[in-house]
Amino acid sequence: SQEYSSNRAGRYEEPSNRGEFSDFGSKNWENDENDMSNNINNNESSGDISVGRTLVFVRGGRRGGDNNFNSRLCFNCNEAGHQARDCTAFTKGRERGGTQEYNRGFSGDSGQIENTFNDHSESQSLKPRVQRYVPSPPPTAREDIFGTATQKGENFQKYHTANVKCSPEGVIVPIELYEEARLNTEVLSNIRNVHYDEPTAIQRYALPAICQGKDIMACAQTGSGKTAAFLLPIISNLLEYHKNELSELHDPPSPLCLILSPTRELAVQTDREARKFSFNTGLKSCLAIGGFDISASCDSYATGCHILSATAGRLIDIIKNGYVSLRNVKYFVLDEADRMLDTSFGPDMRELAQSGLPTKDNRQTSMWSATFPREIQNLAKGFLKDDYIFLAVGHASGANEDIIQTIELVQEADKKDRLIELLEEKFKKERCLIFVETKRQADYIGLLLSGKGLISTTMHGDRSQSQRMQAVRQFTTGQCPILVATSVAARGLDFPLIGYVVNYDLPSSGDFYVHRIGRTGRAGHVGKSISFFDPTRSSDRQIAPDLIERLREVGQEVPEFLQRQVAGATEFHRERRNFDNHSTDTRFPRNSNDASRSTTYAAGEADWK
């Protein structure tokens, strides 16, 4: 397995100061059991335990890697200069018995086990102490904030000429240059710093709409500049119309702009972009996401919090504990809004609406996604003013035209061999993002690739926040050219220069398929996706009609086996899905059937208001 040097984005801290932290011989987390055993045995004599990339708090260990005997601490009395067997102090009882090696895993007077790496009976097993992840301070230097300019692909010009549906018609006059939106001068300077030459199609309409105070529901293809479309005008408005409020400190802190994202990584990315566009303006952008130490995060709000990028669960926690208030929110943004409004996040959104968030008439709201099904549009109306602007760019809710899609017929038993074949023959010089359906499958594929000598990392919900951030960083920089992930990486994340997306397991819906393959083919680059279709999986059979529709709407070839699969599913033809609903403003139904549907959903909107 590949060994990496320690390069963490943050640090761990423990509530106790009675010991030292060690990170000796850290290895890629996908090491097999033999690698971990060797790592443990190498450190066993000095009392250090290091498994994968987990930092372990060991009371009897060495300090700072010093091998001097006198620098060791006695396990029994915690004093230097002797070992526990020579200690004259009262000997503490070993609360759970076990071998000397096992008892090295205990720390402090409580006898808590810091790390158990061998198999023990249930009576001997304890959960490891929860470690606090404190991220490094955000960058402040100009070169660190802006980094290198995004490389534009050969088809980038299409983003400026894409067809846009804007309703109601005649309300918004699109701009051709950023200067026409009358943005703040510092914001215009930061636009030049990121080397944006002219607005994309979604930005041509969204910037003037938000600057005019309009609510927005926007649907545009992946990689089309949606994040900048809401950040640029909001930051400009804060500087122009809320100057007096920027210098106010509230107790508890209350942001002026709240941006909600479905995943931690997307919130981190949004916060990073907000720092770019607010550089040298005096605005402060903050994060509220799970996995970060809550005390350290909330301490950062005390000196000002103008823009807060958050995930719903952590935001609810800090509101309940009085760390943050939403009473001053002027701009409310739902990124990947279709996900934020579905059944998974529905209860959280209702709770937030009752936690002090100003009503929709007292704030400006915008919602953004690459997919906006009809039912989600109707739920979204409860958060928007009645005269909101609806924007749909290009093949709204459709796949990106710059992505070459391939569907292969691969049985479950043959997937591993086909994946290895692709990685060894076709993907040698390109970054590859592999999507699987479960966390266990992600771990398994990661181990499989490591065993084949293919440098990879994984990302899923069971990995710690530091591991997830490290995986993103290693994949983004190319240190690990292969990332195996669940759908936690499917939405919004901007990984530069991904050559291929592989759907090892197909998702359960066409919308998820669009978001997954949308990690490639961004900023005008041509991307490629390969999906393994297994007709024995019921979920694959169910998504087959969606796959055909996604291929046809961008003019790509539909495999014969996929057509035969759908031809046999007669129930699909009796109730065929209307994909055009994704790009149609449901306030203006096209026929009586649409009107009845709109009325049905509208009846439930009161729950969201």
What confidence score (pLDDT) does residue 590 get?
Answer: 52
* Domain C-terminal end among 134, 169, 196: 134
Q: 321 and 232, same structural domain?
A: yes
What confidence score (pLDDT) does residue 59 get?
Answer: 36
What confidence score (pLDDT) does residue 569 get?
Answer: 62
The alpha helices in 278-373, defined as continuous H runs, are 294-301, 312-320, 337-340, 346-353
The number of domains in the chain is 3
What residue type is assigned to position 340 of the chain?
M
Q: 525 and 436, same structural domain?
A: yes
What residue type is assigned to position 71 of the chain?
S
Length of the chain in residues, anyone? 609
Concatenating the DSSP letter of every residue in 24-79 gives TT---TT--HHHHHHHHHHHHTTT---BTTB-EEETTS-STT---GGGSB-TTT--
Q: 427 and 324, same structural domain?
A: no
Strand partners, 435: 485, 503
Rounded to the nearest 5°, which phi and psi values hold at 126? Answer: -130, 155
* Domain C-terminal end among 340, 358, 393: 393
Q: 499 and 357, same structural domain?
A: no
Q: Report how far residue 369's alpha carbon sits from residue 605's, in angstroms, rounded to the nearest whole number.
A: 20
Concatenating the DSSP letter of every residue in 514-551 gives HHHHTTSS-TT--EEEEEEE-TTSHHHHHHHHHHHHHH
3-class state of residue 578 by DSSP: coil
216 membership: H or E segment, kind and range: strand 216-219
What confidence score (pLDDT) does residue 86 get?
Answer: 65
503 membership: H or E segment, kind and range: strand 498-503
* Cα–chain center distance at 167: 31
Claim: this prediction has a pTM higher than 0.85:
no
How many CA atoms are closer than 13 Å to the CA of 465, on its beta-carbon side?
24
Q: Considering the domain boundaries, does residue 599 fall inside one?
A: no
Give residue 233's domain range.
158-393
What confidence score (pLDDT) does residue 63 get?
Answer: 37
Consecutive sets of 10 residues in the chain, 609 residues long: mean pLDDT of each?
Answer: 40 38 34 36 37 36 42 65 63 39 34 33 43 78 76 61 85 95 95 91 95 94 88 97 90 95 94 95 95 88 94 94 95 93 84 91 94 87 93 74 92 96 84 95 95 94 91 92 93 85 94 90 84 95 92 90 80 43 63 37 35
Q: Parallel, antiparallel, or unpaired: how do β-strands 389-393 and 216-219 relate? A: parallel
**pLDDT digits over 208-241, tens only?**
999 999 999 999 887 788 999 999 999 999 999 9
Q: Report how far residue 102's alpha carbon sits from residue 501's, in angstroms, rounded to the nearest whole number.
A: 44
Q: Considering the domain boundaries, does residue 298 fall inside one?
A: yes
What confidence score (pLDDT) does residue 266 get?
Answer: 94
Q: Report how far residue 376's alpha carbon sits from residue 203's, in angstroms, rounded to the nearest whole number.
A: 23
Q: 196 and 114, same structural domain?
A: no
Q: 557 and 499, same structural domain?
A: yes
Q: 380 and 438, same structural domain?
A: no
3-class state of residue 193 by DSSP: helix
What confidence score (pLDDT) does residue 393 get?
Answer: 86
User: ω into residue 138 within 30 of 0, thus cis?
Assistant: no
Q: What share of the chain is helix, strand, coil (3-state, %, to 5)?
A: 40, 15, 45
Strand extents, DSSP E, 25-72:
56-58
Q: Considering the domain boundaries, does residue 386 fall inside one?
A: yes
Q: Considering the domain boundaries, does residue 606 fall inside one?
A: no
Look up the CATH number of the domain holding residue 554: 3.40.50.300
Neighbours of 295 (CB within 10 A): 11
Q: 427 and 308, same structural domain?
A: no
What residue type is assigned to position 416 of the chain?
K
Q: Considering the domain boundaries, does residue 148 fall inside one?
A: no
Q: 339 and 204, same structural domain?
A: yes
The tokens of 185 are what?
């001068």
377 membership: H or E segment, kind and range: helix 374-380
Q: Considering the domain boundaries, does residue 590 fall inside one?
A: no
Cβ 533 vs Cβ 408: under 8 Å:
yes
Cβ 432 vs Cβ 500: under 8 Å:
yes
Q: Considering the domain boundaries, does residue 293 fall inside one?
A: yes
The tokens of 196 are what?
């944006």
Sign of the dihedral through C-alpha 167, 173, 177, 178: negative
Q: 185 and 124, same structural domain?
A: no
Q: 226 and 126, same structural domain?
A: no
Q: Considering the domain boundaries, does residue 600 fall inside one?
A: no
**pLDDT digits over 133-179, tens only?**
887 888 888 888 887 656 665 565 665 667 889 999 999 999 999 99
Q: Report how far residue 298's alpha carbon sits from residue 134's, in angstroms, rounded to the nearest whole number.
A: 11
**Tokens 């601490």 sit at which residue?**
73
Q: Report how far residue 233's alpha carbon sits from residue 387's, in angstroms, rounded to the nearest whole number.
A: 19
What confidence score (pLDDT) does residue 144 get?
Answer: 83
Q: 266 and 304, same structural domain?
A: yes
Q: Report how far residue 401's alpha carbon sits from residue 506's, in angstroms, rounded to the nearest whole number.
A: 20
3-class state of residue 272 by DSSP: helix
Q: Report how far residue 311's alpha carbon sits from residue 271's, in angstroms, rounded to the nearest whole number.
A: 12
